[in-house]
Structures are given as C-alpha cells and as structure tokens.
Structure 1
Amino acid sequence: MNRSLVFSLFAATLVLAGCANQPGPESRPYTAEETRELAMEALNRRGLSFDEYQQKKAELLGAPQRTFGFDQKGAMNAEQRVVLPGRAS
C-alpha cells in the first residue's frame, strides 16, 4: 500500500507541474517583422560583396533595386573644379 501511495503522489506532482508551465516564446509563430529582422541579421553575417548585399537586401525589403557602382566617368582630380548644375560650389 505504501508503494501505491508514493506512486500516486509522484504522478499527481508530475501532472500538476506539467500544467503549471506556460508555453514559451518559441512555441508561437514569428511575426512578419521578426522574420524580416532575422533574415537581415543572417544577411549581414554572410560576408557578401557590396553589390550582392544590396541586391539581397532589396529582395528582402521589397524595395526597388538601385544600382550602385562607378559611373564610368573615370577618376576625378581633386584640383579640378567641377560645377554641378543646381549646386553652388
């Protein structure tokens, strides 16, 4: 009789302990913003070139892709004065 009493108390304790636990945050689905943040963190860790990074970032954010790079005009000389239209130099 003593063994059955100990076993029933042990079983009751296990059931009550299991009911007292709240579901953790990992059991709920991620929101869209959290998913985007995780994807951006993973992108930052990948070590891509600048152009590849900008392309993947635009895909993740859904932004229109802008092209970055050199303008094919050649090197600029710091001593040359270039007047850009609409800007005061």
Structure 2
Amino acid sequence: MKPLIATFLMLAVSVLAGCASHVSPELRPYTAEESQELALEDLNRRGLSFDEYHARKAELLGQPQKAYSFDKHGEMNAERTVQLHGRPS
C-alpha cells in the first residue's frame, strides 16, 4: 500500500511542478516588426504635439519627414470667403 501512495504522491508532485514552470512568451526576443509596433504604440501614448509626433513617427518608420503643420490663420470661419487668384471661390 505504501508504494502505491508514494507513486501517487510523486505523480502529483511532478504534475504540479510541470504546471508551475511554464515558458513565458515575454522571455523570447522580439522580432523587428514587434519592436517597431511597440515603439509606435509607445509614441501614441506620449501626448506629443502634432509636429513632434509626425517627426518621430517618420524616424521610426524610416520615411522622409513630411511637412505637416497648421496654417498660420488658425481656425477657419465658414462665413469667411477665400479669394483664389483667377477663380471665384
């Protein structure tokens, strides 16, 4: 009877030890795509200004920086007329 109890006890201990030692996916190295995606997610959370955000995004993606900026007039009014040279608005 004692060998049967000892066998079940050893089996239970080995099962519990196997469940406790799992391989964590965080321990594996990230691929280049995963690293870039994590960097872009971090960039989205930083709360940067519009120009800073697009400058850093262009750096991360390896693209030439585009000239993103707001116009110098501020917000447009719907009642304001814009005169285009040579064409009626």
TM-score > 0.5, shorter chain as reference: yes
TM-score, normalised with respect to structure 2: 0.60
TM-score, normalised with respect to structure 1: 0.60
- The match for 1:3 is none
Q: Structure 1, residues 3-60: CA drift from partner, whole Å, max 9, x if none?
A: xxxxxx9888766755984422112100111101110111011110000000000000
Amino acid at match of 2:57: K
Unaligned runs of 5+ in 1: 1-8
- The match for 1:28 is 28
- Count of residue pairs the alignment pairs up: 81
- The match for 2:4 is none
- The match for 1:79 is 81
Q: Could you tell me how far apart the structure 2 residues matched to 1:19 and 1:47 are? A: 41
Q: Could you tell me how far apart the structure 2 residues matched to 1:52 and 1:10 are? A: 62
CA separation of 1:44/1:19 partners in 2, compared to 1, >3 Å: closer, same or farther? closer
Q: Could you tell me how far apart the structure 2 residues matched to 1:14 and 1:55 are? A: 56
Q: Percent identity?
A: 53
- The match for 2:69 is 69
Q: Structure 1, residues 44-84: CA drift from partner, whole Å, max 9, x if none?
A: 1111000000000000000111111246xx65884345379
Aligned-pair Cα RMSD in Å = 3.6
- The match for 2:48 is 48
Q: Could you tell me how far apart the structure 2 residues matched to 1:27 and 1:38 are? A: 16
